[in-house]
Each structure stands twice: as structure tokens, then as C-alpha cells.
Structure 1
Amino acid sequence: MVLDISSLPLAFQFTSPGPILVRIGPLTVRWYGLLIATAVLIGVSLSQYLAKRRNVNPELLSDLSIWLVIGAIPAARLYYVLFEWAEYAQRPEKIIAIWEGGIAIHGAIIGGTIAALIFAKLKQVSFWQLADLVAPSLILGQAIGRWGNFFNSEAFGSPTNLPWKLYISPEHRPSGLENFEYFHPTFLYESLWNLMVFALLLNLFFRGVSGKLRLKVGTLIMVYLTAYSVGRFWIEGLRTDSLMLGPLRIAQVVSLAGILLGLAGLAWLYLRKRPLPDVVASSN
């Protein structure tokens, strides 16, 4: 798979080395797994740092990360498999082959949210505080994880001749589009969008803890939900491999629901007579 931008003034081109990073005897290390592991490690460290700035015990975030992984990854796979059941019913041994790709971020969000709610209840801490501290790490992890799609030759868009067009080898081209060579690199679009959302969340976070901005606990997770869903909605419209329910692209339906829920949540936080408390400015 080649990301071709050869027509740009400073031309260069790079080629995906494929899904496998290295083989050591019977052990195979895949880019997809490495990127997920990297995203988790960076995310935990970042969440712990942000927790300190909000005067929250960072060990809570360390413990929560285990719950999130246990809740999110199986749910992400289950979500994907359910909507692709016609294919997996023919090859049930592939259901657990998560290293080959095929996880859905919306499934991960659902599973992670359930895990976080249970964790918060057991630890008797604020779910909204935890969600705020995880939100920047979550969107950064999504930005990193999208590059797994590049190595796996998946999650690309419709054919295009734009300068940043993506070359897809014949064996990975969708049915009916075999004669097209170049496609929209939608994995890249979403990665860049997620990085912008990450920058927005960090800006809000630090303005909140510095006292420069009146920020309610719960604001960051609602901004995440709204902003990510806006980007995912339009990017999903370009993809050729969307999970479908009849004529509907599932990710677009869920994204639209996410936008409405995020906006409603922000209205609840700032217009309700007894909303969640303000973020306390850091003493650091």
C-alpha cells in the first residue's frame, strides 16, 4: 500500500511494509498490535499526569486502565463481528483473530463506558471526573491506532486522484472497484482529525486547571463525544467498508447520536440549576 503524494512540490512517497513488523521463530509481531499497545501505554501515562493536575489520585487511573482494556477491546471486537456476522459465520475461527484488524471504536467506547461506570461505583469516585481524565488519552489513542489500518490495507475510502491518494494493492480492493488503484486515505483523515480534537481537549483542560476558564467536571468527555462524532460522521461517508444495517452506515448513525448526546450533555452541565461542580484550579 502506497501513500502517493508525488505531485506535491516537495515530492516523496512511502510504502506500507505490510501488517507484520517482525517474525522471531514462532512469534509474530504485528503493527496493529504494537500500535494498540503503544496507545494504551501513552494513554495511561497521560491520564495519570492529568489526574495530578486535577488533584486526583493518579493510581486510580492506573487501576482504571486495566478495567478499560478488559471492557473495551472485547466489546470493540464483538461489535464488529456482530455487524459482519455473515462473513464470520462462514469462518468462526477468525472471530478471535483481532490481530488481523476488525475492531470498532464505537464498540470500544460502549464497553469502556460500562467498565468505567462499574469501576467508579465500586471505588465511590466521580465517573465524570474519570471520564474527563481519560478523554484526551482516548482520542490520542484513536489517532495512533488508525495507523494500524494503514498497515493492514483497510479503512480506506472511495477512489480518488487527489495528490495524497493512497495506492491499494489488487487483493485489498473492494468488489466492484478492482480497476481503481488509488483511494482516499480515510485512516489518515481520521488520525489528523483526532489529533486536532486532542489539542482542543488539552487546551480546555489546562485552561480549566489554571483558572483561566470556568470548566465543569464532565465538559471534556462531552466535547470529545461531540467533536469526534462530527469528524467521524463526514469521514465515514467516504469509506468503502462501512458496517451497514440495511442502507444505513452504522458509524454515521452512532456518530449522529453522539453529536446530539454531547451537545445535550454540555447544555445539562452549564444550564442545569445544580450541575456538576467546577474543575478546581491546580495547586501545582
Structure 2
Amino acid sequence: MEEGIKPLNPIAFELGPLQVHWYGLIIGAGVLLALYLAVRESERRGLSKDTFVDLILYAVPIAIISARIYYVIFNWDYYSQRPGEIIAIWHGGIAIHGALIGSVATAVVYARLKKLSFWKIADIAAPSILLGQAIGRWGNFMNQEAHGGEVSRSFLENLNLPEFIINQMYINGSYYHPTFLYESVWNITGVIILLLVRKANLRQGELFLGYVIWYSIGRFFVEGLRTDSLMLTETLRMAQVISVALIILAIVLLVIRRVRGYADKRYLES
């Protein structure tokens, strides 16, 4: 049966010499849905509907570039020998932590230039960011990347996964953990939680910091299953180190902002 399994075509369609990959289409769909969610909420929070449209025009390209730079830096042994591959982002190879660094930095600068509260923007964007991440993982699925270690077919069947997911996890003669799916489900769950808890009128900034904690916890455990981790040392996975650091930083900021009165404003009142 395994011999007859063929992976899904990573190319969605071709326009002459141009190949349009599912990876790019899925990432694009995630960005658009995330933007839609953010724009709707920003209007309810008294911001112009153009606020996030303008922000995303800067944030997306900067996030993609920073995500690629981050990935290339930690795979420099490979890319130093293949410089032509550095820009081949359609082959996969972007790091979400690099994207977050770029997008948050962009949002900070944008908020200052527009004289807006960064924390207000970040709170509104938090569910959208997590939704985009959840959708984006399916781009990894199409490229058969970001998977975990070897498992048996029966293991995957016992998870009650659809046949197309099981078959796509058959790579070079073996089945693998669908870690893309684990993270996507974790992120979707997080989106639902964030949408619910913001009705509780949290203090400004706490929705975004809650996102950071939720995502980092999930990423830490999922990363431990993956086989393609970016490594800080021979034993330390970069994503796990960053996840722990972000959890600690977010908790410290939560405490400091409350103690010093920086978080007196409430989400629904700001």
C-alpha cells in the first residue's frame, strides 16, 4: 500500500513558466483572514479601519524578510554552500520567531509614528496573529516539512486522521508525527480562548501577553517532537529556548505593568 502513496503536489497551478505553490497561497490566505479579523475588531475599538491595512503593508514583508534571515542564520552551514537558495522562500524555510521579531518591531514603530498605543494594537492583533499561524502550518503540510519523528501508520490511524493527512506524512519510506497539525490545533484553540477572554475586559496589553504565553507553551512541546529544529547548540533547540524566554518575559511584563500601574486601562475601555 505504501508503494502506491503519492504526496500532494506542492504546486497549485502554473502560469507559463511561473509556478504558484500551495505554500505561498496558504500563507497568503492566513494573512488575509487574520487581517479581516483584526480590521473588524479595530473598528469596534474605535480605530480607523485603515489602521491594520496600513500596518500590514509594512509588517508582512518585513516579517517575511526577518523570518527568512532568522532561518538562514541558523542554517548557515547549508546556505553558505548554496547562496542561490537563500531567496528560495517558496521551498519553505521561514522561522516564526523571526517573523514575530520583525512584525512586533514594525508595530512599535508604526504605533509611535501614528501616536497610537502599541498595546492596544497588539491586543487587537493577538487572535489574528495566532489564526494566521494556525493556517500557515498547513503550508508546511503541503511541503512535507516541519514534521516530527518516525511513527507507524497505525499510530496515525489511531488519531482518527483523514487519509490525506496520513498519506502526506509518508515521506521517503516512513511515516512521521504530523507536528504541523498539533501546532495548528493548539493555535486554533488559542484563538477561541483569546476571543472569549477579551470579553472579560482584561487590562490593556494582557491579551497580547496571554497570546505570547499560550503560543510559546505549545511551541515548546511541539518543537520537542520535530526533527528539523534550528539548533542553538548540539543539544538546545532554538525555538524551545526562545519559547521559555518569551514565557518568562511575558509573565514579568504582566506583573510589572500591574504593579506600576501601566496596565490600568481595560481592553474594552481603550
In the alignment, residue 241 of structure 1 is paired with which amino acid?
D
- Match among 70, 84, 91 for residue 100 of structure 1: 91
Verify the 8 A CA contact 1:32 1:101 in the aligned structure 2.
Answer: yes
Question: Counterpart in 2 of 1:26?
Answer: 17
Determine the C-alpha separation between the residues in 2 that align with 1:118 and 1:167.
Answer: 41
Q: Per-residue deviation at 1:183?
A: 1.2
Verify the 8 A CA contact 1:219 1:269 in the aligned structure 2.
Answer: no
- Match among 168, 187, 191 for residue 184 of structure 2: 191
Q: Which runs of 5+ in 2 are unaligned?
A: 160-165
1:240 aligns with 2:231: no
Determine the C-alpha separation between the residues in 2 that align with 1:274 and 1:219.
Answer: 11
In the alignment, residue 219 of structure 1 is paired with which amino acid?
E
Determine the C-alpha separation between the residues in 1 that align with 2:29 and 2:147.
Answer: 22
Question: Counterpart in 1 of 2:41?
Answer: 50
Verify the 8 A CA contact 1:44 1:137 in the aligned structure 2.
Answer: yes
Q: Deviations over 1:48-98 (max 9, x none)?
A: 101112122221111111121122110000000000000001110010011
In the alignment, residue 222 of structure 1 is paired with which amino acid?
L
Determine the C-alpha separation between the residues in 1 that align with 2:181 and 2:34.
Answer: 20
Question: Counterpart in 1 of 2:175?
Answer: 182
Q: Per-residue deviation at 1:168?
A: 2.7
Bigger drift between 102-111 and 269-278 goes to: 269-278
Change (3 A) 1:46 1:16: farther
Q: Per-residue deviation at 1:266?
A: 2.1
Q: Secondary structure at the match of 2:268?
A: coil
Question: Counterpart in 1 of 2:246?
Answer: 258
The alignment-based identity, stated in percent, is 46
Determine the C-alpha separation between the residues in 2 that align with 1:260 and 1:225.
Answer: 10
- Match among 149, 157, 170 for residue 168 of structure 1: 170
- Match among 194, 198, 206 for residue 201 of structure 1: 194
Q: What aligned pairs does 1:20-99 form with structure 2 within 5 A after superposition? A: 20-99=11-90
Determine the C-alpha separation between the residues in 2 that align with 1:248 and 1:78.
Answer: 20
Determine the C-alpha separation between the residues in 2 that align with 1:273 and 1:151.
Answer: 47
Q: Secondary structure at the match of 1:22?
A: strand
TM-score (norm 2): 0.89
Change (3 A) 1:276 1:119: farther
In the alignment, residue 225 of structure 2 is paired with which amino acid?
L
Bigger drift between 146-155 and 16-25 goes to: 16-25
Determine the C-alpha separation between the residues in 2 that align with 1:266 and 1:130.
Answer: 17
Q: Secondary structure at the match of 2:126?
A: helix
Q: Which runs of 5+ in 1 are unaligned?
A: 3-13, 171-179, 208-212
In the alignment, residue 115 of structure 2 is paired with which amino acid?
Q
Change (3 A) 1:27 1:52: same
Q: Per-residue deviation at 1:199?
A: 0.6
Verify the 8 A CA contact 1:158 1:184 in the aligned structure 2.
Answer: yes
Determine the C-alpha separation between the residues in 1 that align with 2:248 and 2:52.
Answer: 28
Determine the C-alpha separation between the residues in 1 that align with 2:6 and 2:59.
Answer: 33
Aligned length: 255
Q: Secondary structure at the match of 1:265?
A: helix
Change (3 A) 1:91 1:63: same
CA RMSD of superposed structures (Å): 1.8
Question: Counterpart in 2 of 1:155?
Answer: 146
Q: Per-residue deviation at 1:258?
A: 1.1
Question: Counterpart in 1 of 2:8?
Answer: 17
Determine the C-alpha separation between the residues in 1 that align with 2:169 and 2:26.
Answer: 22
Determine the C-alpha separation between the residues in 2 that align with 1:71 and 1:27.
Answer: 24
